Structure 1
């Protein structure tokens, strides 16, 4: 049995300058993939990440785009193809950040913002990148969902609504393009330890961890490992899956 080998593959990670995205980019590069670092506003972090990945010996480029704007996504695709060729792996990781509160207090504009960055991002990426995958009868579409989609806790309404809508898009897409040997899956992180936590010494949270069967929070590397697995040939017969990476904090039922 072979391990994870992404040599010769090109991966696009949206929101790659974010806390989880940057670890996904580094990890896919470590497994041999050429990397496209998407960002919306953090050009400095994108440049830093490019230099880091290129130092690993992997081809890498950055591209700026508003993933809620379809024409911007099409323009991004054209830039990527011109410099790096066709994309084999698309990881939809970007999401608009906002302050969580109750439904009664949540500003109305936060709901369409989550719809645009979760649902419409997924649609835009599919329309832009799937047609060439169909021609090649090969490809990986990977969405970053959340355990919140199953929790439905107070304060999560806009985020949960957006991610549950994203789940619907991915499940339907998996059925629509499966015959072309393109897999469509989702990774659903729990409350994950990231570089920000390490810098702030905030890795531990007993109130959260006591309800997790593994009694701890996962790490950004745990999420990136799941993405790498789904991107690889080892997961070639897995599609339509929603995979929690949260130590068992939520468990999809049958």
Structure 2
């Protein structure tokens, strides 16, 4: 068996980020045309687009603010004009902020996490799922986090946003399943990225001691699961929260 996304178009938000760029390459390698969303890193988006075209895939790089519905509407219009319908949506973008204790965390950080974790996914669903319903096929994939189960100190704003996202995805899975659309979440652990390789920061003995597989995962391992969930191999999986963290957190029954 092989993952074959030929004839599909995949959108990845936050596609120029450390994980997003690997997901874009992986989806394209599996045969998908791609939408490279970016917030501010236009140069990286252009570089990725050229790389994708070199694979023989179609693509478009589009700037948008994922917390602003009108901005996402403009992105969708451009995508539809250049590539047509989007079959796979990967919600990866999130606002970055400085973590601290609940007593010290500014209110705007909770608001930014709600906007980028919850409302981004509401907007993406409202904009792209109707086309999927019309096609009787589609994939909504959200990038969650192991932090949602850890609830460690200083994680509160991030955890609150991602747990809100989890609720949206679970309900959406029940609402659109009858149309052949699957809705799933991938929850990475602390992942090795291109930046880690460049800075030689791939290892953390303290963290790795907590992981049953005794190592950190890689960006490619996360992207592999995203590609699997985007494919027909995962056609009967929906409503799932899938940790990809070497067993560091384990959802219970």
> What is the TM-score of this pair, normalised by structure 2?
0.99
| Cross-structure match for 2:188 | 189
| Cross-structure match for 1:118 | 117
Q: Distance in 1 between matches of 2:210 and 2:145?
A: 17
Q: Distance in 2 between matches of 1:77 and 1:59?
A: 16
Q: How do residues 31-46 of structure 1 correspond to structure 2 at under 5 angstroms? A: 31-46=30-45
Q: Does 1:49 align with 2:48?
A: yes
| Cross-structure match for 2:105 | 106
State which drifts further: 165-174 or 53-62: 53-62
Q: Distance in 2 between matches of 1:3 and 1:50?
A: 24
- Give the paired residue count: 253
Could you list the per-position Cα deviations for residues 144-199 of structure 1 after superposition, in whole angstroms to 9, with x for gaps in the alignment? 00000000000100000000000000000000000001000000000000001001
Q: Distance in 2 between matches of 1:245 and 1:80?
A: 30
| Cross-structure match for 1:159 | 158
Could you list the per-position Cα deviations for residues 35-93 of structure 1 after superposition, in whole angstroms to 9, with x for gaps in the alignment? 10000100001001111111111111100100100111111111100000000000000
Q: Distance in 2 between matches of 1:199 and 1:186?
A: 28
| Cross-structure match for 1:218 | 217
Could you list the per-position Cα deviations for residues 188-242 of structure 1 after superposition, in whole angstroms to 9, with x for gaps in the alignment? 0000000010011000000000010000000000100000000000000000000
What SS does structure 2 have at the residue aligned with 1:109? helix
Q: Distance in 2 between matches of 1:86 and 1:243?
A: 27
Runs of 5+ consecutive residues of structure 2 not aligned to the other structure: none
CA RMSD of aligned residues (A): 0.5
Q: Distance in 2 between matches of 1:183 and 1:75?
A: 25
Shift of residue 107, structure 1, vs aligned partner: 1.3
| Cross-structure match for 1:132 | 131
State which drifts further: 69-78 or 119-128: 69-78
State which drifts further: 49-58 or 188-197: 49-58
Q: Distance in 2 between matches of 1:209 and 1:127?
A: 39
| Cross-structure match for 2:234 | 235
| Cross-structure match for 1:207 | 206
Segments of 4+ moved more than 6 angstroms: none
Shift of residue 108, structure 1, vs aligned partner: 1.3
Q: Distance in 1 between matches of 2:47 and 2:25?
A: 12
Runs of 5+ consecutive residues of structure 1 not aligned to the other structure: none
> What is the TM-score of this pair, normalised by structure 1?
0.99
